[in-house]
C-alpha cells in the first residue's frame, strides 16, 4: 500500500535539506548491491533522525538494526562531544560497507558496531542511553522495548520504525502478515504503558516516538 501519495512525498523531499554527499553515495550503493534496499531510511526519515539527534544532543545512543549504516550516520550527527552511538546488526556481511561509510562521514570514533543477536548484545551493554532507535525484526520489538527500558534515562526517548508496516496494519486481521500483527501488538503495549507517552508519526512507514516519563 502507498500510505503517503508519491506527489506528497516528492513535495516533502523538495523542501527538506538534501542528503550529504556521503549519504547519497551510501544510498546509491545500497540500491545497487544490497537486498531489500527499501529498508534504507532515505532523505526524509534520515533528516528527521538527524534533527532529533541535534535537538537532544545525546551522549549515548543505541540503534537496533544497522542495515547499511544510513540511519546510524544520521543519528550520530548530533552527538555531544565524546558521545557514542552503539549500533547492532546480525548480518556480518554488511559490516565492511558500514564501517567504510562511517569513516567517510568522519564518524568512526563515534559509532561502535556490534554484530550478533540484538537481545544478547543489549543485555551486555552497561550504558545509560538518551535515545534508542528500534528498526530490526518486527516480531522482536516488544522484547527489545522491555530490554532497553531500564537502560534509558528518565526523559529519554525511543524511536520505533515501521509501525504501520507498509499499510498492512490498516487491513483486516485476516489479511495482515505476522509482522503487521507484531506492530499492532507493539503499539498496544506502548499505549498501555503508564511509564511512557508516545506519538505515532505518519512519516514514511510509520515512526513512533516514545518518551520515558518514569
Query: How much is the pLDDT for 1?
Result: 64
Average pLDDT, the chain: 96
Percentage helix, strand, coil, to 5, in the chain?
A: 50, 20, 30
* 41-97 residue pLDDT tens: 999 999 999 999 999 999 999 999 999 999 999 999 999 999 999 999 999 999 999
Whose grid coordinates read 554488511? 94
User: Does residue 2 surpass a pLDDT of 80?
Assistant: no
Cα dist from 89 to 120, 155, 194, whole Å:
11, 26, 30
Please state the φ and ψ torsions of residue 213, each to the nearest 5 degrees: -100, -15
* 158-198 residue pLDDT tens: 999 999 999 999 999 999 999 999 999 999 999 999 999 99
Helix (H) or strand (E) holding 89: strand 84-89
DSSP SS3 for 1: coil
What is 6-212's CATH topology?
Rossmann fold (3.40.50)
Amino acid at each position: 500500500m502507498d500510505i503517503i501519495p508519491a506527489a506528497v512525498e516528492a513535495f516533502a523531499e523538495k523542501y527538506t535539506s538534501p542528503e550529504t554527499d556521503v549519504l547519497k553515495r551510501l544510498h546509491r550503493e545500497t540500491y545497487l548491491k544490497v537486498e531489500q534496499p527499501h529498508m534504507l531510511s532515505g532523505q526524509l526519515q534520515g533528516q528527521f533522525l538527524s534533527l532529533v539527534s541535534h535537538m537532544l544532543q545525546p551522549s549515548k545512543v543505541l540503534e537496533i538494526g544497522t542495515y547499511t549504516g544510513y540511519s546510524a550516520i544520521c543519528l550520530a550527527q548530533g552527538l555531544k562531544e565524546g558521545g557514542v552511538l552503539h549500533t547492532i546488526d546480525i548480518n556480518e556481511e554488511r559490516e565492511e560497507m558500514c564501517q567504510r561509510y562511517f569513516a567517510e562521514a568522519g564518524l568512526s570514533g563515534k559509532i561502535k558496531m556490534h554484530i550478533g543477536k540484538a537481545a544478547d548484545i543489549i543485555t551486555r551493554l552497561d550504558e545509560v542511553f538518551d535515545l534508542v532507535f528500534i528498526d530490526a525484526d518486527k516480531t522482536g520489538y516488544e522484547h527489545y522495548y522491555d530490554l532497553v527500558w531500564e537502560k534509558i534515562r528518565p526523559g529519554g526517548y525511543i524511536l520505533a520504525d515501521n509501525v504501520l508496516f507498509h499499510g498492512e496494519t490498516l487491513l483486516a486481521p485476516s489479511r495482515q502478515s505476522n509482522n503487521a500483527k507484531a506492530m499492532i501488538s507493539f503499539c498496544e503495549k506502548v499505549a498501555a504503558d503508564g511509564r511512557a507517552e508516545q506519538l505515532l508519526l505518519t512519516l514514511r512507514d510509520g515512526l513512533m516516538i516514545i518518551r520515558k516519563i518514569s
